[in-house]
C-alpha cells in the first residue's frame, strides 16, 4: 500500500487512517510505503506503521523494487511453490524435482524463488540484477545469464523446462514446468 503524504500535518495526525494502516499490517501483512517530500523524511521516525518510504519525485521502477522488498519482508502467505514436478519449500529454502532434492547456491535459489513467485512474467536482466544483486552491483548483466545457465543445468532436463528465455527481453518462469 503506497500512501502519498503531502505535508507535516498528515504525517503527524493520529487519525483513523493510521489505525487502519496498523490493522492492515497486523491482520493482513500489508506493507505501507510512504511517498513523501524529502524534507519530511525525518518525521517518519514517529510513524511505525510505515515500512519504507520514497522521496518525491517517484521513479516507478524504484517503487516496484521497494514494494517487492517490503512484500518479501512481511511474507507472501504460501510457504510452498509447486510447478509441475518442482516443489520449492520457501520456509526451508529447499528445492525438489520429482521428489529429489536439488543442491543450489544461495544466488541460484534466490533467482529461482524470485522467478517462481512471479510466474509467466518476463524480467529484464537489469531488473533481475537490481532485485537480486542490488543497485550497487557493478558487474555486467551477463552475470544473470551465467546464473540462469547454471540453474538450468541443475533443475532442467528433457522432461523439465522451467525457465524460458524471451528473446531481446529477458527471462520468465513457466507455470507447469
pTM: 0.55
Domain count for the chain, please give it: 2
- 89-116 b/e with 16+ CB inside 10 Å = b? eeeeeebebeeeebebeeebbbbbbbbb
User: Where is the domain boundary, 44, 74, 104?
Assistant: 74
pLDDT of 99 over the 80 cut = yes
User: Where is the domain boundary, 37, 55, 74?
Assistant: 74
- pLDDT (0 to 100) of residue 70: 77
Provide the residue range defining the domain that includes 99: 80-173
First vs last Cα of the chain: how many Å apart?
Answer: 32
pLDDT of 171 over the 90 cut = yes
pLDDT, one tens digit per residue, over 110-142 is 999 999 998 889 999 989 988 888 866 666 768
pLDDT, one tens digit per residue, over 46-92 is 777 777 888 899 888 888 888 877 777 665 555 788 888 899 988 78
What does the alpha-carbon distance between residue 104 and residue 58 come to, in Å, rounded to a whole number?
36
Q: Are 148 and 164 contacting, i.e. CB atoms less than 8 angstroms apart?
A: no
What does the alpha-carbon distance between residue 30 and residue 74 come to, in Å, rounded to a whole number?
7
For residues 28 and 36, the model is more confident at: 36
Say if residue 53 is in the same domain as residue 91.
Answer: no
Task: State the average pLDDT over residues 11-21.
Answer: 68
- pLDDT (0 to 100) of residue 95: 94
Cβ neighbours of residue 170 closer than 8 Å, sequence gap 6 or more: 122, 123, 124, 125, 127, 128
Collapsing DSSP states into helix, strand and coil, what is residue 73?
helix
- pLDDT (0 to 100) of residue 60: 86
Say if residue 70 is in the same domain as residue 90.
Answer: no
CATH number at residue 157: 1.10.10.10
Residue 21's closest CA among 7, 8, 34, 9?
34
Say if residue 92 is in the same domain as residue 164.
Answer: yes
Helix/strand/coil percent split, the chain, to 5: 45, 20, 35
In this structure, what C-alpha cell is assigned to residue 43? 518525521
Percent of the chain scoring above 70 in pLDDT = 81
Amino acid at each position: 500500500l503506497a500512501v502519498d503524504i503531502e505535508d507535516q500535518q498528515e504525517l503527524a495526525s493520529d487519525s483513523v487512517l493510521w489505525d487502519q494502516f496498523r490493522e492492515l499490517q497486523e491482520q493482513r501483512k500489508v506493507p505501507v510505503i510512504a511517498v513523501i517530500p524529502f524534507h519530511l523524511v525525518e518525521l517518519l521516525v514517529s510513524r511505525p506503521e510505515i515500512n519504507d518510504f520514497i522521496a518525491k519525485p517517484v521513479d516507478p521502477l524504484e517503487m516496484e523494487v521497494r514494494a517487492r522488498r517490503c512484500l518479501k519482508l512481511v511474507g507472501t502467505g504460501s510457504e510452498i511453490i509447486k510447478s509441475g514436478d518442482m516443489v520449492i519449500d520457501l520456509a526451508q529454502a529447499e528445492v525438489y524435482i520429482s521428489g529429489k532434492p536439488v543442491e543450489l547456491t544461495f544466488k541460484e535459489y534466490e533467482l529461482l524463488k524470485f522467478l517462481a513467485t512471479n510466474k509467466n512474467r518476463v524480467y529484464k536482466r537489469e531488473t533481475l540484477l537490481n532485485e537480486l544483486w542490488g543497485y550497487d552491483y557493478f558487474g555486467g548483466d551477463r552475470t544473470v545469464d551465467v546464473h540462469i545457465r547454471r540453474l538450468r543445468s541443475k533443475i532442467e532436463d528433457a522432461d523439465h523446462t522451467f525457465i524460458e528465455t524471451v528473446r531481446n527481453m529477458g527471462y520468465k518462469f513457466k507455470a507447469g514446468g
